[in-house]
Structure 1
Amino acid sequence: MTEASNFIWYELMTPDPAGAARFYGAVVGWNIASERDPAAGDMDYRMIGRSDGGNAGGVLALNADMIAGGARPIWIGYLHVADVDAAVEAIKADGGTVQMPPMDIPVGRIAMVTDPQGAPFYVMTPTPPPGMEGMESDVFSVTEAQHVRWNELATSDPVAAIAFYRKHFGWGQEGEMDMGSIGAYRFIQRGDVGLGAVMPLMTGYPAPVWNFYIGVDDIDRARAAVSANGGTITNEPMEIPGGEYAMNAIDPQGASVGFVGPKK
């Protein structure tokens, strides 16, 4: 059995990287680069820096051509695979679609796909920097602020989606929470680590999508910063199992995002 896939990178697609930098700097404490990464070639791609010196992901500037082609502000996750081309063929065979065919970039090989219900994500085989072979990405953390802490799939067919990710990425699904009329909130695991959950698509979601919850140091401070910096709260902070709080928002450029953290 190959090792289950992990989220190894997160990417914010936005038409306004500078505006996104101001917003996420205020809400999360990130430092998003003011200049494009030279390694990205023709693309305007900027790194998201954490306070500890690590990276939390990247920002891809959406240009007019991308927007004309249907690209919109969104957060997208990258899932590690051993072989991008084989993963894409297997996903296609199971009803997924290819949004961007496999291509080589300076840090590995990637492709953008959707699951059979239509939620987009990347698959990636990274090329580790010299001396960092075998090291695991730390952009996802169950506990740490300034990392993505929870990965939540809202989908039109939770049972089919869970079967798909179990088959292609090796995840488990144990435990659920009753959400009343919405249905079950089913928890997903990578080994013994809680990755997030799969939930039914609610009214107001135009299409199946992955939502990511970014860790913050204080949910009340973050909530105030969202409102003060042009974001829109869509779900007020709500207590979650374990005593912390989660909320949902839309950033000033239109990307949906979640935040999770303690009340201080």
Structure 2
Amino acid sequence: MSAFHGQFVWYELATLDAPAASAFYRAVIGWNMKDAGLPDREYTILSAGERPIGGLMALSQADCTAGAQPGWIGYVAVDDVDAIAARIADAGGAILRPAGDIPGVGRFAIVGDPQGAVFALFGAGDRGAMPPAAPGTPGTVGWHELLARDRQSAFAFYADLFGWALGEAVDMGEMGIYQIFTIGGEPAGGMMTRAAAMPAPFWLYYVNVDGIDAAIGRVREAGGRVANGPHQVPDGSWIVQCLDPQDCMFALVAPTR
């Protein structure tokens, strides 16, 4: 098994208005943006400085007709996309886009876990994946959060697929237990059982910024909204959950208020 198996390696926004989304995230996070030069559709590479971290693309009418929804999706590196996709299907998950090749890049599939949270698989082949950035690097994703129907069975599913391990379990009172999980021995995210009134299970990605209040100001100035927060978490960091102008949810994390 490679060192990259089970690591989040790419983040992608599918949006109904690509130019507006590009302007918003450039203003809020400061990503550099460059057209990928794909032959069949426009695809914008998002970079933190010189480091590519994800992509942005517009949903076509055909995509929407087929059931695609605007939002962020995370790509998890695996050694064998087809084999892992088959295991997901066997475990009661969904194959939303069967495994296929990205010429010169790798192989991918879009899948859903047995509780309905959507994510992607990515195999980079002989090229390997890019090593992770230093923790806290602005513009990179610093935390991965799953709002599950049932956190315990959700964790068991991902641990079996990717080798993720249990970290600290944080008692959040009426909200229940927030289960931190580790990837490669390092804390990488958390899982919790969502409240009954919340939407279907989903993954939420926290982007590193320098200061949370200044970032909130940029969100509002650029036409986004704060959905929850800011809050200070046990390690001292500050977080906020937001909606972009197309109502796609994302989150921010910073070392200071």
Normalised by the length of structure 2, the TM-score is 0.94
Post-superposition CA distance 1:203-246 (Å, at most 9, x none): 44321100000001111110001111111100121111232200
Q: Aligned pair in 2 of structure 1 residues 164, 60: CA closer, same or farther (>3 Å)?
A: same
SS in 2 for 1:9: strand
Q: Residue in 2 aligned with 1:220?
A: 213
Q: Residue in 2 aligned with 1:12?
A: 13
Corresponding letter in the other structure for 1:43 = R
Q: Aligned pair in 2 of structure 1 residues 2, 214: CA closer, same or farther (>3 Å)?
A: same
Q: Residue in 2 aligned with 1:116?
A: 114
- Check the 8 A contact 2:75/2:119 in 1, yes or no: yes
Give % identity. Answer: 37
Structure 2, unpaired ranges of 5+: none
Post-superposition CA distance 1:173-215 (Å, at most 9, x none): 1211112122100000012211100011124432110000000
- Check the 8 A contact 1:9/1:137 in 2, yes or no: no
Q: Residue in 2 aligned with 1:159?
A: 152
Query: 1:135, CA displacement in angstroms?
Result: 5.5
The runs of at least 4 consecutive aligned structure 1 residues that moved more than 6 Å come to: none
Task: Say which is worse superposed, 148-157 or 2-11, in terms of deviation.
Answer: 2-11
SS in 2 for 1:118: coil
Q: How many residues align?
A: 255
Q: Give the whole-Å Cα distance in 2 for the aligned partners of 1:258 and 1:104.
A: 30
- Check the 8 A contact 1:103/1:109 in 2, yes or no: yes
Q: Residue in 2 aligned with 1:37?
A: 36
Q: Give the whole-Å Cα distance in 2 for the aligned partners of 1:215 and 1:18.
A: 23
Task: Say which is worse superposed, 105-114 or 67-76, in terms of deviation.
Answer: 67-76
List aligned pairs for 1:239-258, cutoff 5 A: 239-258=232-251
Q: Residue in 1 aligned with 2:87?
A: 90
List aligned pairs for 1:1-264, cutoff 5 A: 3=3, 4-33=5-34, 36-38=35-37, 40-51=38-49, 53-106=50-103, 107-127=105-125, 133-134=127-128, 136-138=130-132, 142-263=135-256
Please report the RMSD computed on the Cα atoms of aligned residues, expressed in angstroms.
1.7
Query: 1:152, CA displacement in angstroms?
Result: 0.2
Q: Give the whole-Å Cα distance in 2 for the aligned partners of 1:204 and 1:154.
A: 12
Structure 1, unpaired ranges of 5+: none
Normalised by the length of structure 1, the TM-score is 0.91
SS in 2 for 1:220: helix
Corresponding letter in the other structure for 2:26 = G
Query: 1:143, CA displacement in angstroms?
Result: 1.8
SS in 2 for 1:176: strand
Q: Give the whole-Å Cα distance in 2 for the aligned partners of 1:166 and 1:80.
A: 14
Corresponding letter in the other structure for 1:149 = G
Q: Give the whole-Å Cα distance in 2 for the aligned partners of 1:135 and 1:99.
A: 23
Post-superposition CA distance 1:96-133 (Å, at most 9, x none): 110000101121011111111110111111146xxxx4
Q: Give the whole-Å Cα distance in 2 for the aligned partners of 1:9 and 1:261.
A: 20
